[in-house]
Amino acid sequence: MSGLNKVAYNLLNRYRTDGVFCGHEPASEYFWGDLCRERIDYVRNFVFRDVNTLKMCAEMPYHDADREYVKAWFASSDGGDVRMFNSTLSERNQDRLEREGGACIMYTHFGKGFWDGRGLDGTFERLMRRLRSKNGWFVPVATLLDHLKERKGLHPLSAAERARLERRWLLEKILAGGGS
C-alpha cells in the first residue's frame, strides 16, 4: 500500500501491521530483497474475491518501479480456506469465467478445511471434477504469467494504476471483510 491508501489501511487495521514487515528494507536483519530480485520471477500481491483474476488486474504481470526488489507482480483470486475456495469457484463462477474468457489464479491454503481427516471436502471435490471437465488451460501460475508476458509484455505499472488497484483491494476488504 502507498500514499493515502496506506494511511486508510493502517487506520482501518488500527496500525496492527504497520512496521511489522521489514524484509524489503536493506538495513533490516531480515532483508530478502536482493534474493527476491535474483531468484524469484513473480510475487503475488493483491487477492480479490472475483473468480476472474484477469478482470480484476488486467495489467498483470506488472512491474512496479517503486518496489525495486520484485521483478514482476500478479494478483490472485481468493480461496484462502475451503469455504472461500468453494465460493470463488462455484458452478456459477466457473461458467462466468468461461463466458468471459478470463483466467483464474487461485490463492489458497490447502490446510484450511480441505481435508477433514477422512477425506476431501465434498463440495471442493465436486467443483474440481466439474472444472476438470471444462475445456480450460490448467497450468502452473508461472506458465500463465510467462504466456501473458510473452503476449503483451511486462506492464510498467503507473502510480495511478497502483493507486486504483490498492483502492479496489481496500474497498473489497472494507465491504467483504477479512480474507487474504
Cα–Cα distance list, 148 to 60, 91, 143, 155, 172 (Å): 8, 26, 9, 10, 25
The rounded percent of the chain whose pLDDT value lies above 90 is 76
Q: Judging by beta carbons within 10 Å of its beta carbon (0-12, 13-18, 19+), is residue 31 exposed, middle or buried?
A: middle
For 91-140, how does the pLDDT look when each residue is reduced to its tens digit (9 = 90+)?
999 999 999 999 999 999 999 999 989 999 999 999 999 999 998 999 99
Contacts of 56 (CB under 8 A, 6+ apart): 46, 48, 50, 75, 77, 168
For 27-47, how does the pLDDT look when each residue is reduced to its tens digit (9 = 90+)?
999 999 999 999 999 999 999
Beta bridge partners of 78: 107
**Pair 49, 89: CB distance under 8 Å:** no
Q: Quick one: DSSP state of residue 68? A: T
Output the pTM of the full model. 0.85
